[in-house]
Amino acid sequence: MSSILMPVLEMAAPTLEWRALAPVLLVFAAACVGILLEAVLPRAYRFLGQMTLVFATALVSIGFLVINWRGQYGGRLAMGSIMLDGPTYFMWASLLVFGTLAFMVFSERQLNGGATTFAASAASVPGSLDEADATAARYEHTEVFPLGLFALGGMMVFLASSDLIVMFVALEVFSLPLYLLSGMARRRRLLSQEAALKYFLLGAFSSGFFLFGIAMLYVFSGSLDLAAIHTAIEGNAGSNGLVMIGLAFIAIGLLFKVGVVPFHSWTPDVYMGAPTPVTGFMAIATKLAAVGATMRVFYVALDGERWSWQPLFAVLAVLTMVVGIIGALTQSDIKRLLAYSSIAHAGFILVALVGATQTVAAGEGTSASAIMFYLAAYGFATIGAFALVTMVRNAAGEENNIDGWSGVAAKNPWVAGLMSLFMLSFAGIPLTGGFIGKWAVFTAAWRGGYGWLVIVAVLASLVAVYFYLRLIVVMFGRKEAKGVYVGNASAWTWIPVVVGAVATVWMGLVPDQVMQLATFAGGFLR
Amino acid sequence: MTFPWLTFLGLLPLVGGVLLFLPMGRGAARTLGLVFSGVTLAVAIAVTALHVGGADLAVQVPWIRAFGAWWALDVDGMGLAMVLMTAVLTPIVLLAEWEPPAMRWSAQAFFALVLILEGLSLFVFMANDVLLFYLFFEATLIPTYFLIVGFGGVRRSYAAVKFLLFSLAGGLIMLASVVGVYVVGAAQGVPSYLVSDLAAVRFDGDLGRWLMLGFLIAFVVKAPMVPLHTWLPDAAEHSTPGTATLLVGVLDKIGTFGMIKLCLGLFPEASLWITPFMVWFAVISIIWGALGAIGSRNLMRLVAYTSVSHFGFMVLGIYAFTTASMTGSIFYMLNHGFSTAAMFLVVGFMAKRTGSYDIAAYGGVQKVAPVLAGVLLVSGLATLSLPGLAPFVSEFMVIAGTWTRYPVVTAVSIIGVVLAAVYILRMYQRTMTGPVTDETAARFTGRDLTGIEKAVMVPIIGVLLVLGFYPQPAVQLVEPTAKATLAYVGTTDPAPVVKGAK
C-alpha cells in the first residue's frame, strides 16, 4: 500500500531565502489577499481597501529592497531559479516605483465624474442593457489592483530568473493580467476589447515561440539554467544549429514584449485601446521587464554566441528606429503617437544592447548601466505623459486626437508645460533625463564597437524630434480647440505627473546619483 | 574652497528667471527682472576684474562620474568678452522691451524667458567640459523657441519651428561627435570630457576629421553660414527686436566661439585640413549675406542678412590662422553684438510707431524724428564698419590678417565691404530721407525717441564709440586666446613680405 504511494522521485522541500525574496513575495502575497478582499469586503469599502493594500505593499516592498540592497544580499536564490544581482536590484526598484505611480493613476475618480477609467462591468456586452444597468448602479472593478500586482510580481520574477522555465512562467504570469486590463476601458469598449484580443492572440503566439526556443536550448545543452547553457555553448566544438534556432525563437518571444520591429504591430492598437492608466503602466513596466530579461538571456546564457546575435540585433535596431519614427510621424491620435514613440525608444535601447560594452574599468558605464538609466528616465516621462493624457478631455471622455490638443497652453499652462517637458525628455533634449539616457546608450554602443549604429540612431532621433515638437507646437502655437477642456484631476493623477517631472529634471541636471547606482549595480551575474 | 564666482554668475539670472514664473504684479515682475540682470552685470564686471587681476576662477566638480563629465567652468579672454557682452545686452534688451507687443503672453513671461536664456548662454561661454557645453548649447534653444513663438509676428510658429529644427539638426550631429570624442579619449586612456584633458588626446586621421565635422556643422548652422543660414532671416523677421538681438547678437556667437574653442581646440589637424573649404565658404557667406540684405524689403530681414555677411568675416578671420585675423575675429564677435543690437532695437522703435517692418512703409522720417534718424544712422554706420566705430577695427584686423595668407580670398571678400555701404545707405535713404509721407507724418510727428529708448541706445552707441577709438583694452583681453589657439594648432604668422625692400 505504502509502496504505491511512495513517490518515484525524492522531493526535497524547496528552500527559499525569505528575506532576500521579500520584495517579490510581498507583491504576490498582496495580490492574493487582494482577491480575497474582493470576496470579503462590502462594495463600499473595496476601493479603499484595495488601495490601502496596494500602496502599503509597495512601500514595504521598496523598504525591504533598499535594506537588502544596502546589506548586499544576493546571489542565486530559490534553488537556483532567481538571480538577485545588481541589475535585478536596480530594475526591481524601478518596477516598484513605476508600478506604484501607475497604480495611483488607476485610482483617479475625480476626472471622470466619480468613476474610474475602467468599465463598470467588463463582462457586459458593450451597448447592452446590462452595461447600462452596471453603470447606473456605479459598479466598479476593484480587481484591477490585484491584477496589476500580479503583473508587477510577474515582471519582477521575469527579469530576475536564471532558469528558462521560471522565466516562461513569469512571462505568462505578467502577461495574462495585462491582457485582461487592456480590455477593461470604460469608453470605446469595442476598441478596448479588440485591443485585448489582439494582444492576447499575438502574445500567446510569441509565448509559443519562446517556449520552442527554450526546448531547443534544452536539447542542445541539457539544461534550463542560464549559466549551464553558457557553459555548454563555450564548450561546444561541433555544430551550433540548435543554438541558432533556440536563440532566434527566444529572441522572438522576448522582443515581442519589448516591442521591436517586426514584432511591434500590437503596440499601437493595444496602447490606443487599453485604458490610458493601463497603457502608461504597460508602456514602461512591460518594456523594462522585457528589456531586463532580454539582457539577462543574451548577456548571461548566449554571450558566447555574441557574434551571431549582434549583427541580427543591429539590423533590428535600425528597423525599429526607422519604423517607429516613420509611424509616429503620421499619427493623429496621441496614444498611438506615444505607442510609436515607444517603438522608437525600443530601438534606441537595442542600440546599446548590441554595443554590449561589458568590460570597462571599474566605475565606468556599461551597456547594462546605460540601458537601466535610460529606462528609468524614459519611465518617469512615460508615466507622467500618460497621466497627462487622461486630463485633456471632451464631452465623451479623453480627447486623444492631437488636433483636440490645440491651444491647451492657453487653457492650462501647467498641463501644456509639463507635457512639453516630457516630450523634450522623449526627444532627448538636454536638461532632461532623456538626454542623459540617450547619450549614455550611444556612448555604450560606440564603446562596444558600433559607431555606425550610433550615427544611424542620431539621425533617427533628429527625425523623432519633429513629432515630439509637433505636439508642443500644437499646444502652444495653435488656436484653442472648441469643446475640449482640461479636467480637474485629483492628487492621484497629479502626484505621478509631478514626481515624473521632478525626476525628469533631476536626472537631467544632476544624474550622478542614479547613474552611480546603475553603474555600481554592475553586470549580470552568472 | 574659494567662492565659485562663475557658477554664481550663471545661476543668478536662472534663479531670477524661475522666480519670475511665480505670480506677481506686472510692475514688480519687470523691476525684479531688471534688478536680476543688473546684478548679473555687476557680477560679470567683478569676474572680469578678478580675471584681469590674475585670479584663478576655475570651478571643477565631478558631475557624472561614470562617464567622466565634470561641472567645469573657466573663462579665458574670449569667454570673458562673450560673458560681458551677454551681461550688458540683457538689461538693455529688457529695457527696450519694457512694453512687449500685446500678445497672449505676458511681459512677465518675456522677462523670465530672457533671464533664463541669459543664464544658459553664460554657462555655454564658461563651460570647460565638452558635455556641459553641449548640454547648455542645446538648452538655449528652448527659451529661444518660446520667445519666438510667444511674442513674435504673424508667422511666428513657422519661424520658431524652422529655427528649432535647423539648430537641433546641427546639435544632434554634434551629439554623435560628443559621444565619439569620449570613446576615442577612453580608448587612449583618457575617459574624460574636460577640454584640458581632451587636449592631450590625439584625434588623428579620418575619424578625427569626421568628429571635427560633427562639431563644425553644428557651429556653421549656429553662426549662420550659407547655405545653412536660411532659418535666421525668418527667425529674426518673426520675432520681437529684443529676441532677435539675443538670437543674433549672443546665441549665434556660440557658433564662432565653438569653432575656436572646440574645433580648433580639440582637432588642430582636422581643422587645418578643412581650412581651404571654410575660407571660401566664409567668402560666399560674406557676399551672399550682403546681396540678401540689399534685396530685403523687410528691415528685420535686412539686419539678419547683414549678420550673415559679418559672420562670414568672423569665420574668415578664424580660419586664416594669423594672430591679427583671429584676434580681429574674436573682437568682431564682441562688436557685432552691439552693432546688431543697435540696428535691431532702433528698427524695433520704428516699428513700434508704425506697426510695420516694411521699408516701403517709411519715408522722410528724419525731418519729423531727427533723434531717431540720427541713432539709426550711427547704428548703420557701425554696421558698415565706418572708421571711428568699433566694427571697423575688427573688420580691418580680419582683412589685414587674412591678406598675409590668402590675398585672393581677401580681395574677393572686400566686395562685401563695398556692398555693406550699399545696403545700409540705401535703407537709410529710403526710410529716413526724401519727402515726408503722410503715413510718416501721422505716426512720427511729436513721437521722437522717448526717455527709455534713449536710455537703451546711449550705452550701446557708447560702447561702439569707445571701442572704436580705444580698442586696446578689448584687444588685449582677447589676444591671449587667439595666440594660445594658434600655438596649439601649430601655425605661425607668415613673415611680412614687402616687395622692393631688399
Which three cell numbers mark A358? 561589458
State how far residue B314 is from chain A, nearest Cα, in angstroms. 28
CA B11 from chain centre, in angstroms, equals: 21
Instruction: Encode B436-469: b = buried (16+ Cβ within 10 Å), e = exposed.
Output: bbeebeebbeeebbeeebeebbebbbebbeebbe
What pLDDT, on the 0 to 100 scale, is given for residue B67?
85
Does residue B358 sit within a domain? yes
Q: Do A446 and B180 touch (CB under 8 A)?
A: yes
Q: Which of B64, B139, B183 sits opposite A430 (nearest CB)?
A: B139
Q: Do B141 and A429 touch (CB under 8 A)?
A: yes
Q: Which of B139, B344, B322 is nearest to B237 (CA)?
A: B344
Please spell the DSSP secondary structure of B321-377, one letter per residue. T-HHHHHHHHHHHHHHHHHHHHHHHHHHHHHHHHS--BGGG---HHHH-HHHHHHHH
DSSP-assigned beta bridge partners for residue A485? A393
The answer to whether B489 contacts chain A (CB < 8 Å) is: no
Question: For residue B72, which phi and psi values (nearest 5 degrees)?
Answer: -120, 120
Q: Between the CA of residue B62 and those of A94, A367, B12, B183, what are the distances in Å?
A: 25, 21, 21, 19
Residues A54, A253, A309: CA angle, nearest 5 degrees: 125
Q: Do B172 and A455 touch (CB under 8 A)?
A: no
- Best B20, B149, B183 member to test A by mutation, with max A CBs in 10 Å, is B183
**Chain B residues near residue A522 by CB distance under 8 angstroms:** none
Q: Do A446 and B183 touch (CB under 8 A)?
A: yes
Number of neighbours of residue A132 by Cβ within 10 angstroms: 12
Q: Which of A360, A430, A512 sits opposite B135 (nearest CB)?
A: A430
**Predicted model pTM:** 0.92
**A113-137, pLDDT tens digit by residue?**
888 889 888 888 888 898 889 888 8
- Best B18, B63, B64 member to test A by mutation, with max A CBs in 10 Å, is B64
Question: Is the model's pLDDT at B21 over the cut of 90?
Answer: no
Q: Strands A82-84 and A75-77: what pairing? A: antiparallel
Does residue B76 sit within a domain? no
Q: Do B172 and A458 touch (CB under 8 A)?
A: yes
Question: Is the model's pLDDT at B497 over the cut of 80?
Answer: no
| Residue numbers of A between 406 and 445 with CB closer than 8 Å to B | 410, 424, 429-431, 435-436, 438-440, 442-443
The answer to whether B415 contacts chain A (CB < 8 Å) is: no
| DSSP state at residue B436 | P
Does residue B290 sit within a domain? yes
**A374-416, pLDDT tens digit by residue?**
999 999 999 999 999 999 999 888 899 999 999 898 899 899 9
What pLDDT, on the 0 to 100 scale, is given for residue B100?
67
The answer to whether B199 contacts chain A (CB < 8 Å) is: no
**B163-221, pLDDT tens digit by residue?**
999 999 999 999 999 999 999 998 888 888 998 888 888 888 899 999 999 999 999 99
**B86-99, pLDDT tens digit by residue?**
999 999 999 998 87
Give me the mean pLDDT over the B11-20 stretch: 92
Q: Do A469 and B161 touch (CB under 8 A)?
A: yes
Dist. CA A158–CA A153, nearest whole Å: 9
Enter the ipTM. 0.88
What pLDDT, on the 0 to 100 scale, is given for residue B444?
86
What pLDDT, on the 0 to 100 scale, is given for residue A361?
63
Q: Do A430 and B134 touch (CB under 8 A)?
A: yes
Q: Which of A307-311, A353-357, B377-381 has the lowest mean pLDDT?
A: A353-357
**Chain B residues near residue A364 by CB distance under 8 angstroms:** 66-68, 186, 191
State how far residue A518 is from chain B, nearest Cα, in angstroms. 9
User: Quick check: B402 and B285 in contact, CB under 8 A?
Assistant: no
Question: Is the model's pLDDT at A522 over the cut of 80?
Answer: no
**Sorting pLDDT into bands at 50, 70 and 90, what band is B364?**
confident
For chains A and B, CB pairs below 8 A equal 102
Give me the mean pLDDT over the B447-468 stretch: 92
State how far residue B476 is from chain A, nearest Cα, in angstroms. 35
Q: Do A515 and B67 touch (CB under 8 A)?
A: yes
| CA-based nearest residue in chain B for residue A360 | B186
Give me the mean pLDDT over the A53-72 stretch: 92
What pLDDT, on the 0 to 100 scale, is given for residue B498?
61
Q: SS3 helix, strand, coil % of chain A, rounded to 5? A: 70, 5, 25
Does residue B69 sit within a domain? no
What pLDDT, on the 0 to 100 scale, is given for residue A362?
63
Which three cell numbers mark B149? 513663438
Q: Which of B337, B336, B330, B276 is nearest to B485 (CA)?
A: B330
What pLDDT, on the 0 to 100 scale, is given for residue B501?
47
Number of neighbours of residue B66 by Cβ within 10 angstroms: 24
User: Quick check: B499 and B279 in contact, CB under 8 A?
Assistant: no
Q: Do A429 and B139 touch (CB under 8 A)?
A: yes
Q: Strands A397-398 and A392-394: what pairing? A: antiparallel
What pLDDT, on the 0 to 100 scale, is given for residue B502?
45
Q: Do B64 and A446 touch (CB under 8 A)?
A: no
The answer to whether B212 contacts chain A (CB < 8 Å) is: no
Q: Between the CA of residue A334 and those of A296, A308, A331, B443, what are the distances in Å?
A: 33, 38, 7, 48
Q: Which of A191, A201, A220 is nearest to A396 (CA)?
A: A191
Q: Which of B239, B289, B264, B496 is nearest to B413 (CA)?
A: B289
**A352-365, pLDDT tens digit by residue?**
998 766 666 666 77
Number of folded domains that form chain B: 1
What pLDDT, on the 0 to 100 scale, is given for residue A357?
64
Average pLDDT score over chain A: 90
Given its phi and psi angles, is residue A138 left (phi above 0), alpha (psi -120 to 50 degrees) or beta?
A: left
Does residue B346 sit within a domain? yes
Give me the mean pLDDT over the B104-120 stretch: 89
| CA-based nearest residue in chain B for residue A479 | B104
State how far residue B380 is from chain A, nearest Cα, in angstroms. 34
**A411-463, pLDDT tens digit by residue?**
998 999 999 999 999 999 999 999 999 999 999 899 888 989 999 999 999 99
The whole domain housing B423 covers: 268-492
Give me the mean pLDDT over the B340-351 stretch: 94
Q: Which of A30-39, A190-199, B58-67 has the lowest mean pLDDT?
A: B58-67
Q: Which amino acid is at B120?
A: L
User: Quick check: A339 and A284 in contact, CB under 8 A?
Assistant: no
| Residue numbers of A between 147 and 186 with CB closer than 8 Å to B | none
Does residue B187 sit within a domain? no
Question: Is the model's pLDDT at A237 over the cut of 90?
Answer: no
User: Quick check: B269 and B203 in contact, CB under 8 A?
Assistant: yes
Given its phi and psi angles, is residue A115 left (phi above 0), alpha (psi -120 to 50 degrees) or beta?
A: beta
Instruction: Encode B239-275: b = buried (16+ Cβ within 10 Å), e = exposed.
Output: bbbbbbbbbbbbbbbbbbbbbbbbbbbbbbebbeebb
Q: Do B183 and A443 touch (CB under 8 A)?
A: yes
Question: Is the model's pLDDT at A504 over the cut of 60?
Answer: yes
Which three cell numbers mark A254? 522576448
| CA-based nearest residue in chain A for residue B183 | A447
Does residue B437 sit within a domain? yes
The answer to whether A473 contacts chain B (CB < 8 Å) is: yes
User: Quick check: A390 and A489 in contact, CB under 8 A?
Assistant: yes
More confident site: B279 or A363: B279
| CA-based nearest residue in chain A for residue B171 | A462
The answer to whether A449 contacts chain B (CB < 8 Å) is: no
Coil, helix or strand at residue B194: strand
**Chain A residues near residue B160 by CB distance under 8 angstroms:** 473, 477
**Chain A residues near residue B169 by CB distance under 8 angstroms:** 462
Does residue B224 sit within a domain? no
User: Quick check: A499 and A426 in contact, CB under 8 A?
Assistant: no
Dist. CA A127–CA A105, nearest whole Å: 26
Q: Which of B134, B149, B191 sits opposite A364 (nearest CB)?
A: B191
Please spell the DSSP secondary structure of B378-434, one letter per residue. HHHHHHTT-TTSHHHHHHHHHHHHHHTT-HHHHHHHHHHHHHHHHHHHHHHHHHHSS
Q: Which of A46-55, A460-469, B102-111, B225-234 has the lowest mean pLDDT?
A: B102-111
Q: Which of B131, B135, B157 sits opposite A473 (nearest CB)?
A: B157
